[in-house]
Amino acid sequence: MPNLLMMNQLLNEDILAILEDAAMYAKGEGWKAEEKLFIANLFFEPSTRTRFSFEVAEKKLDLQVLNFSADQSSVLKGETLYDTVKTLEAIGANAVVIRHPQDHYFEELLGKINIPIINAGDGCGHHPTQSLLDLLTIKQEFGSFDGLTVSIHGDIRHSRVARSNAEVLSRLGARVLFSGPKEYKDETNPYGEYVDVDEAIVNSDVVMLLRIQHERHMEKNTNVINEYLEQYGLTKEREKMMKDHAIIMHPAPVNRGVEIDTDLVECERSRIFKQMENGVYVRMAVLKRALQKKTQEEKSNVIYS
């Protein structure tokens, strides 16, 4: 079953194959659905870019889209995630895309659902298509990951992106630096080295900023937020210290003036909106991987059974 749940389940060769497909889609080429295939998008949390990015990807692939939002569903009658997904499978969904606030929500589904599950974000856990679009953006820029220095700035501990990006960038050959407030350190993440913000900025090919997730971990330390930009964020001064060819990334939505000076969001080095564009291509590649294999498996079943 070609699920996509966590980056650490993908081999390097799987990742590179997805990035290659995504690059094809960026050129307007590649597989599209020839029959009517249905994708159910289940978003149990608000989302703009991930949800619409998947919807655009699906429509570009000529897939049929079913947009599920929890607040208009039988989830209000207490239906479990398993029964909801099983229902969508019975009704004809060929794959499900799920965002859910609970870490590892997909564990209750594995082995019991017969259609691919694409994880669009679980709790503070994983967000593999975000990692893949980050990788595509870096690869477009530098051609390879070997020998690059990537610094990840901010709330390392609660970020869906920090852990999976650090793990996968490391094994693809990059060096990872972490930087940010002490209280956001993640002692369980062995894939990067903690350094001072200025040191990180000066040495990076990629400066990857993380969103301060006000809404997620509600430690209302207003002082921290007010002084965040100066102490830990990307100010105009720090931008000037970056290497000539270095780029700025952020998974968005950006807290302008917190993680980054608002004038830098669309500066020449910024790849923030490029990342969003790449998100569509990466998700097309991930959907292709889920559905094409599925179709092949089904064909084999027909032939041999």
- Ligand-binding annotation for 200, yes or no, is no
SS3 33: coil
Strands 117-122 and 149-153: unpaired
- Ligand-binding annotation for 99, yes or no, is yes
- Residue (67 or 140) nearer to a copy of itself, CB: 67
AA identity, residue 254: V
Helix axis angle, 128-142 relative to 49-60, nearest 10°? 70
C-alpha closest to that of 55 among 40, 71, 74, 33 = 40
- Ligand-binding annotation for 211, yes or no, is yes
- Ligand-binding annotation for 160, yes or no, is yes
- Residue (1 or 147) nearer to a copy of itself, CB: 1
Structure tokens at 136: 């595509």
- Residue (14 or 79) nearer to a copy of itself, CB: 79
Residue 219 Cβ, how far from a copy of itself at the closest point, in Å?
17
- Ligand-binding annotation for 252, yes or no, is yes
Contact criterion met (CB below 8 Å) for 290 and 118: yes
- Ligand-binding annotation for 50, yes or no, is yes
- Ligand-binding annotation for 130, yes or no, is yes
Of how many residues is the chain composed? 305
Residue 215 Cβ, how far from a copy of itself at the closest point, in Å?
6
* Rg of the chain (C-alpha set): 20
Give me the DSSP letters along 129-185: HHHHHHHHHHHHHHS--TT-EEEEES-TTT-HHHHHHHHHHHHTT-EEEEES-GGG-
- Residue (6 or 280) nearer to a copy of itself, CB: 280
In whole angstroms, give the CA distance from residue 195 to residue 46: 33
Residue 88 Cβ, how far from a copy of itself at the closest point, in Å?
6
In whole angstroms, give the CA distance from residue 34 to residue 36: 7
- Ligand-binding annotation for 269, yes or no, is no
Structure tokens at 135: 């990788």
- Residue (61 or 150) nearer to a copy of itself, CB: 61
In whole angstroms, give the CA distance from residue 181 to residue 48: 28
Residue 93 Cβ, how far from a copy of itself at the closest point, in Å?
8
Residue 64 Cβ, how far from a copy of itself at the closest point, in Å?
5
Residue 168 Cβ, how far from a copy of itself at the closest point, in Å?
23
Which are the contacts of 72, defined by CB distance < 8 A and separation ≥ 6? none
C-alpha distances in Å from residue 38, one per residue of 121, 137, 189, 251: 20, 29, 37, 28
Residue 39 Cβ, how far from a copy of itself at the closest point, in Å?
11
- Residue (9 or 273) nearer to a copy of itself, CB: 273
- Residue (214 or 293) nearer to a copy of itself, CB: 214
> Which residues are at the interface with a copy of itself (CB under 8 A)?
36, 38, 40, 43, 46-49, 51-53, 55-56, 59-60, 64, 66-69, 71-80, 83-84, 86-92, 214-215, 252-256, 273-274, 276-277, 279-280
Question: Binding site membership for L-aspartate: which residues?
Answer: 77, 160, 211
Question: Binding site membership for carbamoyl phosphate: which residues?
Answer: 49-50, 99, 127, 130, 252-253
Question: Binding site membership: which residues?
Answer: 49-50, 77, 99, 127, 130, 160, 211, 252-253
